[in-house]
Structure formats: structure tokens, C-alpha cells
């Protein structure tokens, strides 16, 4: 996890699901879309990306090596440092 101040945390995290009313907006801009190859792990990584405070999510499949990335538009600058 990388926080908006650029701090990198190596541990995995799990966020609780958002309530249904917070998962989509009237204009459809906050909607989860998936492709056929995405399994439950990839879908569960997409859900946190709908949160306002989450800038991006990345999931690596141990089985197939596929990577899922999801980013959101943020007005806050992101300064990455290790």
C-alpha cells in the first residue's frame, strides 16, 4: 500500500466492501467493470478503488501472472518515495 503522502507499506491490506449506494454514482462514473478472466481476487481489488481516499489498486495473480490495476482521479498530489 502506498499512502497519498508517498509512504510505502509492504503489508497486504483488506478493506471492507462499500455499501451498494456508495459503489455507483448517478452518472455511472464509479462503476465496477470486469473482464472474463478476472477472478474473485481481482474483483475484490477493484472494489476499494471506488473509495474516495484510494488512488490506485494493483493485484497480481499468482496463478496466471496477470496484473489488474485500477486508478482514480485525485486532486491531491502523490509523491512516491521508498
Distance CA 51, CA 36 (A): 24
pTM, entire model: 0.43
Would you kindly state where each structural domain of the chain is located, as residue ranges?
1-24+37-82
The tens digit of pLDDT for each residue in 27-82 reads 455 566 667 766 766 666 666 666 666 777 777 777 788 777 777 655 555 555 54
Residue 74, classed as helix, strand or coil, is coil
Residue 68, classed as helix, strand or coil, is strand
pLDDT value at position 10? 72
Amino acid at each position: 500500500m502506498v499512502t497519498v503522502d508517498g509512504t510505502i507499506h509492504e503489508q497486504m491490506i483488506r478493506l471492507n466492501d462499500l455499501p451498494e449506494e456508495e459503489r455507483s454514482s448517478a452518472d455511472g462514473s464509479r462503476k465496477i467493470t470486469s473482464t472474463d478472466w478476472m477472478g474473485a481476487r481481482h474483483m475484490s481489488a477493484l472494489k476499494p478503488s471506488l473509495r474516495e481516499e484510494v488512488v490506485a489498486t494493483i493485484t497480481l495473480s499468482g496463478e496466471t501472472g496477470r496484473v489488474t490495476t485500477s486508478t482514480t482521479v485525485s486532486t491531491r498530489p502523490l509523491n512516491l518515495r521508498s
